[in-house]
Amino acid sequence: MALFLGSAGISGCHDKSVDADPSINVANNFYQLLSVPDVKSATTLFSPGFTDTMSSWPKVLSRTQSKFGPVVHAELELAVFTPDGDSDCYLLKYNVIRQSLQSHERLLVCKLAGTSRWAIVGHELTRDDTGNDISGGRLPNRSIPQRH
């Protein structure tokens, strides 16, 4: 089954001009790897700080894949510039469909200090059917800014 990585309504308001493409590329690559499914490679897209503090996250992703199947569709709904201390970050909101689960997921993707590498520093998955969520890493408050 082919994975569709699309985007709809990508925008955000910010004073600083920071290209969203590197953060979106990391997120799209993450969902592409989960479609294969290759959880081990997908987790390499997380920041070292995330994996150091959330060592169980690969197991969470593996259980999600085992229970609900691989990602078959991931569509970017919103990208918002969200500075995090001295780091340039984008909060990305995706509509994600696995074989037997639809969810909305937020990824905080930041440029790692002193490098050109962007990495996922926070991930939240909210099931559409129950509203239950699970999150790990750093994420801004639950309200995601709306498009201006």
- Is the model's pLDDT at 52 over the cut of 90? no
pLDDT band, very low/low/confident/very high, at 53 (cuts 50, 70, 90): confident
Q: What is the pTM of this model?
A: 0.86
- Is the model's pLDDT at 129 over the cut of 80? yes
The share of the chain scoring above pLDDT 70, in percent, equals 84
Averaged pLDDT, 26-46: 97
Q: In whole numbers, what is the pLDDT of the chain averaged over residues?
A: 87
Q: Which domains does the chain have, with CATH numbers?
A: 4-136 (3.10.450.50)
Averaged pLDDT, 44-59: 92
Question: Got the DSSP string for the chain?
Answer: -PPEEEE-S-----SS---SHHHHHHHHHHHHHHHTT-HHHHHTTB-HHHHHH-TTHHHHHHHHHHHH--EEEEEEEEEEE--BTTB-EEEEEEEEEETTEEEEEEEEEEEPTTSS-EEEEEEEEEETTT--EEEEE----SPPPPP-
Higher local confidence (pLDDT), 108 or 12:
108
